[in-house]
Amino acid sequence: MAGRKNIYYWKSDRAFASENTRSTAGSSLPEITIQVRDYLNRHFRNGLINIEPANGQGNHITFTAHYPDGDYFVRLENGPEGDNYMAVESKVMEMVRQQGIPCPLIYLTDVSRTVVPFAIQVMDCVDSSDLNVVDKRGELDLLAVAGTIGRYVALWQSIQPGKYGLFNPDVLHSVGRLEGYHDAYEQYFFLNWDVHLEYLRASGFISAYKVAELKELVNGFRPLLQLDTGCLVHKDLALWNILGNDNQITAVIDWDDAVSGDPTDDLSLLGCFHSGDVVLSAIAGYQRVKALPPDFEQRFWLHLLRNIIFKSVIRVKGNYFEKSDKFFLNNPKHKGLKQFTLDRIDSACEGLRGDKSIDTL
């Protein structure tokens, strides 16, 4: 199975980036449905009623399995890389639940592909909308929820895996612990940095002058990347990966990009999508649990820039800027996703130079 040692972020760096892992990869959906049904009947002998596609918007094929005692959520990973990170994700979710953070309980994870030609995961089915849907309905108390998000970020940072970056499934399998691939955090932070910038330049998204500016600016802040230890980072912290209602979180989901990294990283990810008041509310929630790390604001801007660059790669590769208004990333509060993305790159640069504060995001 392929590992993720050379991956900064799966969607931007996977070998078959043009492949949609939610497609059926040579098998029809009815055929996959039969395979999933037979697999569940083999592993859970308590009366499967039926299964139906869950039509998730993430990276996986998803189903809802109906049993007499309730519903369960089933995810499949069938990309050509044979990725086995689901095993890591399940371990992460177990540890997050132990911190008192709402997270679906995992009942089964099988990445062997020996019985079925895909990795499969079975978990609790949480009966809540994702908060992006709630927000677009105009029903979300975003500032209140942001405070809770910040508190949860601080709580899951008590999980401190070994090394840095994406986790090595082989280490998890052999000794049962989370350990990143990289000995130094700086190695992970700059992994594929030049590749990402060159892709954005070649695609015409940013200019060669901008690339040179970004490289010079970030190089000046390398001392901030000398961490003594890493902490758990969700790495895809966004409203569509949080379930709940107008003012309550019922589950934090989609931990399949989790890494060992910097304590400002997840907070900076919120800055990729939200205004300064939302980010400040999350920071206040964080501070109710633990103090901010040293050099917080500079590290925040540095990670905001790194995150918005890899997200730009994903958006350009996926033609996100051409999507309809119904696309989950499009927000009527913003002046178009492309311009919003470019503006966030500029904001991160201004923040690093000391010319912008978080409240003005």
In the chain, where are the structural domains located?
10-124, 129-360
Q: Which CATH number fits domain 10-124: 3.40.50.300, 3.40.1390.10, 3.40.640.10, 3.30.200.20?
A: 3.30.200.20
- Integer distance in angstroms from the first to the last C-alpha of the chain? 42
DSSP H helices in the chain: 10-13, 29-43, 85-98, 131-136, 142-156, 169-175, 185-189, 193-202, 208-219, 265-270, 276-287, 296-317, 337-352
- Tokens representing 216? 């010079």
**pLDDT band with cut points at 50, 70 and 90 for residue 21:** very low
- Looking at domain 129-360, its CATH class is alpha beta
**pLDDT band with cut points at 50, 70 and 90 for residue 321:** confident
- Tokens representing 166? 């994406």
Give per-residue pLDDT as tens, 190-233.
999 999 999 999 999 999 999 999 999 999 999 999 999 999 99
At 226, which amino acid appears?
Q
What pLDDT does residue 18 have? 52
How many other C-beta atoms are found inside a 10 Å radius of the C-beta of residue 302?
Answer: 26
Give per-residue pLDDT as tens, 39-97.
999 999 779 999 999 987 677 899 999 999 999 999 999 989 899 999 999 999 999 99
Proportion of the chain above pLDDT 90, given as a percent = 86
**pLDDT band with cut points at 50, 70 and 90 for residue 27:** low
